Structure 1
């Protein structure tokens, strides 16, 4: 696993800061040790430095991965977050959207969040800001981009899109059924 280049590190941190802001540094320096980002085959992994040192003893052709896959680089050079990063982003998210129980299933099927399904939204959420989508019981369901600011949500039509879907925990099931 190789270290990310400076330009790729910048792309990863820009994407992460869209969701967690300045809390990116909390991902690196954690109480349980120092973590880092490494790349293998266009995928970016979040791994403890202690585990990374142990992985260096394995020959590169025998190592599949080490750590948690946070996302991948596209052929166009952009970075896309994977849903596997959700459990690490949710505690540090600056802006959150909570869904009503009736809207959770629609979001998990890959649909956008409508105003009628919105339970709560973080105050002062700007338009086009990265948000973490949660159930009313604070269970992380996925992430997306706010289609409207908090002020616009208050006066929006019930069928207006509030959050554009990007990734959700239901992707595991959908991708598995596509393989069958």
Structure 2
């Protein structure tokens, strides 16, 4: 596993800051140790330095991955955040959307969030802001990007889109079909 280049580190941090802002430093310096981002075959892994030291004893051809996959870089050098990063993003996210129970299933099927399914939204959320999508019982469902600001959501049509789907926990089930 190799260190990210300066350019790729900047792209990764810009993507993460869209969701958690300046709280990226809390991902790196944690009470349980120091963590870092490493890359293997265009995939970015979030791994503790202690585990990284142990992983370096294995040869490069013998190690598939170490840590948690946060996402991958595309051929055009854009970063796509995977759902496996959700548990690390939720505690530090500044902007959140809560869904009504009637809209949870639609979101888990990969659909965008409509105004009629919106339960709550964090105040002062701007348009095109990265948000964590939660159920009304604070269960993380996924993440997306807002289509409207908080003020625009209050006055919009019930069938208008308020959040674009990015990833959800239902991807595991949908991806399982393609693996069979």
Q: Which residue of 2 aligns with 1:121?
A: 121
1:178 deviates by: 2.2
Q: Which runs of 4+ in 1 moved over 4 A?
A: none
Aligned residues: 180
Deviations 1:138-159 (A, max 9, x none): 1110000000000000001100
Matches of 1:44 and 1:179, distance apart in 2 = 22
Matches of 1:73 and 1:178, distance apart in 2 = 21
Query: What SS does structure 2 have at the residue aligned with 1:62?
Result: coil
Q: Which residue of 1 aligns with 2:11?
A: 11
Q: Which residue of 2 aligns with 1:21?
A: 21
Query: What SS does structure 1 have at the residue aligned with 2:116?
Result: helix
1:177 deviates by: 1.3
Unaligned runs of 5+ in 1: none
TM (norm. structure 1) is 0.99
Q: Which residue of 1 aligns with 2:112?
A: 112
Matches of 2:23 and 2:95, distance apart in 1 = 12
Matches of 1:164 and 1:152, distance apart in 2 = 15
TM (norm. structure 2) is 0.99
Alignment of 1:1-180 (within 5 A): 1-180=1-180
Indicate the RMSD between aligned Cα atoms, in angstroms: 0.5
Unaligned runs of 5+ in 2: none
